[in-house]
Amino acid sequence: MPPEPESPRRRDDNKPTPWRVEGAPEAKKQGPMGMPRPPGGRRFLYFVVALLALNFLFASLVPSKTDRSAVPYSQFQTEVDRNNVAELTSQGDEIQGTFKHEVTPQKLNGKADKPSTKFSTLRPALAPANDPLLSELQQKGVIVNAKPLDTGRSLWADILLFFGPTLLLVGIFVFAARRASAAGGMGGLGGLGRSRAKRYDVGEVSRTTFADVAGIDDAEDELEEIVDFLKRPEKYRALGAMIPKGVLLSGQPGTGKTLLARAVAGEADVPFFSMSASEFIEMVVGVGASRVRDLFTQAKAAAPSIIFIDELDAIGRQRGGGAGLGGHDEREQTLNQILTEMDGFTGSEGVIVLAATNRPDVLDAALLRPGRFDRRIAVSPPDVEGREKILEVHTRSVPLADDVDLKAIAQTTPGMVGADLRNLVNEAALLAAKQEHPAVESSDFYNSFEKIVLGTERRITLSHAERERTAYHEGGHALLGMLEPGADPVRKVSIVPRGRALGVTFQSPEGDRYGYDTAYLLGRITGALGGRAAEQIVYGTVTTGAESDLEQVTRIARSMVGRWGMSDEIGLVSVISDEPQYPGVDPASEATRELIDREVRRIVEECYVRAVDELTENRSRLDSLARELLERETLDEGEAYRAAGFERGAAPGDRPPQGLLKEPSVAPERPERPRTA
């Protein structure tokens, strides 16, 4: 018969594990009677004996006798006659006491003590039984008591002096050694080299699962395969498949990368080691690499497990970029150790490395090659359905009023990610509690949304002239938003100061947008210049109120020219990049940079002329909108369109633009947030 196969290793008495565990600590050696042997073995015992010998030698130099001076009995009687004795204690023939003034003892055995007030003497046997010493002492007013005699240090004091310091040092050493052994080794100076990863173990109440993840279904589907492999590895091994060694989650901040990683560990029900990449780096050279080794050792010992490294770009940036001196930079040493540890995986350890970053474009190529981070998952911002699901997750424990429509809120928040929506729900709950509502109402959500997007209202008093200028400024933005073809609808116009602005105009698209054509971008620039154009038309002068508008139009125009190939002068080339460059190095030549500046200026100036012409032709609508703003301060969507003399859906800008399919388009990484001007 064939030999019976060995039973798999067990992590406990009931649950077998198919994983080969590497890096697990060896069984502790046992000494006599089953007690653990001391650290260091026999050499440690020799060291303790040497310490005890030194302790005994130095302690023997400390005198143990009392510091009282021995005086003859005759001198004691003389001092009694002189009334120089303050008090004394007597037991048997031995007398101890204190002189009022220092006395130099007479020589005894050829020795003489230093002058002292403390003394001791012996009453000789030749003294008569009716010695009148006691009555004489009473006459002199000497205090006579029956306290125990001063015999010097006690036995316990000698034991503490001879052995105490050594025992204390040995105890501290053993305690530190056992703490270091339990944590996986001393790991450098004071434990600097030990991993600081937070461990989330199996069975914790707060474990995150895929039920807590919503709105990013594509990324969730790809990670479910990882979970299935950790639960049932035999199914994949039977077909010769190997799980990816590393999974890189990339996406913008707040999209849920860390939440996804914790959900994978929660679904697979395995230990989860979480650590930020910046925590590897320390002031001492080599500590980062030591922490990497310790982290992977702990994960292998707890296999199957998941290692999660957040913000990987903190240590995973491209090497040789001038950040350090030669190849000895601490960050590069840490990165090299991560590469080495991931190369050591064979697939049977049951350890998977998850990492998250906002900048996958700056990572070192060695991290992204097959065998390291085999799989890259882009975590994109949610669409309108995803935002609705995210709102449902975050409002599980929030009582909602009957008028709350999560779908309508999702449609009003394009470009927001999971973290933004969670903050929106929290702000709405705080506002409802402040106003003592029994449940969170729809108005709480919209007021909180305005606070997040537009800013908090400022209670400042503006003069009539400033309010009127602000009304025309915001009216210019709003009116061009209604007139420009394909522009985002105007949702709200206000001259109430919020944040740093004296007024705001809020526009947002009807739905999510992922590509923007030339006509739309030129309309964005024209609308942003509407405030400056309105001031120029009405007052003939301009103010500093267009600062943020000018920054916005410059950014859009430079991207059109240098990144998206929307300029005939520059052509279909990208000369502006987000890639990190060497200091003093620019990918574009001097002539190209000058040409970019000229093209940006040309686009902005043409859009400004268009804005002035549009507002001049519609001056009556601008005046009507400004008067309404001065009267009511804030206008919602319908009120703003009526004040400008338009019906919602019938404004020129509401008509779909013609011929846009012939224009070049761009697909940015995420739909932009609702914009304000």
For residue 460, is pLDDT > 90? Answer: no
Q: Is the pLDDT of residue 530 over 60?
A: yes
CATH number at residue 105: 3.30.720.210
Q: Which of 42-46, 145-149, 250-254, 436-440 has the highest mean pLDDT?
A: 436-440
pLDDT digits (tens, 9 = 90+) for 15-53: 444 554 433 444 444 444 444 455 556 777 777 778 777
Structural domain includes residue 285: yes
Tens-digit pLDDT profile for residues 168-194: 777 777 777 666 555 444 444 445 545
In a domain, 176, yes or no: yes
- Of 336, 357, 378, which residue sits at a domain end? 378
* Token pair in block for residue 319: 């090497």
In a domain, 406, yes or no: yes
Query: In this structure, are 174 and 200 located in the same domain?
Result: no
Tally of domains within the chain: 5
Q: Is the pLDDT of residue 455 over 70?
A: yes
Q: Between 84 and 537, name the one with better pLDDT.
A: 537
pLDDT digits (tens, 9 = 90+) for 261-280: 888 888 888 888 888 887 77
> Do 353 and 482 fall within a single domain?
no
Residues 566 and 587 both lie in one domain: yes
- Does residue 282 register a pLDDT over 90? no
Residue 523 belongs to domain with CATH number: 1.20.58.760
Q: What is the pTM of this model?
A: 0.64
Residues 489 and 560 in one domain: yes
Three-state DSSP class for residue 308: strand
| 100-104, 131-135, 601-605 — most confident range | 601-605
In whole angstroms, give the CA distance from residue 599 to residue 605.
10
Whether residue 661 sits in one domain with residue 525:
yes
- Identify the pLDDT of residue 464: 87
Average pLDDT over residues 425-437: 92
Which of 22, 79, 279, 474 is an active site residue? 474
Q: Is residue 422 part of a domain?
A: yes
Please give the pLDDT value at position 661: 27
482 within domain boundaries? yes
pLDDT tens, position by position, 201-242: 555 546 778 888 888 888 888 888 888 888 888 888 888 887
198 and 178, same structural domain? Answer: no
| Lowest mean pLDDT, pick from 91-95, 386-390, 473-477, 604-608 | 91-95
* Catalytic residue check, 349: no
Residues 470 and 562 both lie in one domain: yes
CA 146 – CA 88 distance, rounded (Å): 9
- Indicate whether 335 and 243 sit together in one domain: yes
Same domain, yes or no: 410 and 503: no
Same domain as 448, residue 485: no
- Residue 25 domain-assigned (yes or no): no
Question: In terms of domains, do 423 and 555 share one?
Answer: no
Asked if 87 contacts 98 with a C-beta cutoff of 8 angstroms, the reply is yes
Burial of 584 (0-12, 13-18, 19+ CB in 10 A): exposed
Domain contains 15 = no
What is the C-alpha to C-alpha distance for residues 635 and 428, in angstroms, rounded to an integer?
A: 22
Residue 669, domain extent: 464-676
What percent of the chain lies above the pLDDT cut of 90? 17
DSSP percent split of the chain into helix, strand, coil, nearest 5: 45, 15, 40
CATH at 404: 1.10.8.60
Give the CATH number of the domain where residue 267 resides.
3.40.50.300
Residue 13 in any domain: the answer is: no
Mean pLDDT value across the chain: 76
pLDDT digits (tens, 9 = 90+) for 332-365: 888 888 888 887 666 666 788 889 998 888 888 8
Are residues 413 and 504 both part of a single domain?
A: no
Is the pLDDT score of 445 beyond 80?
A: yes
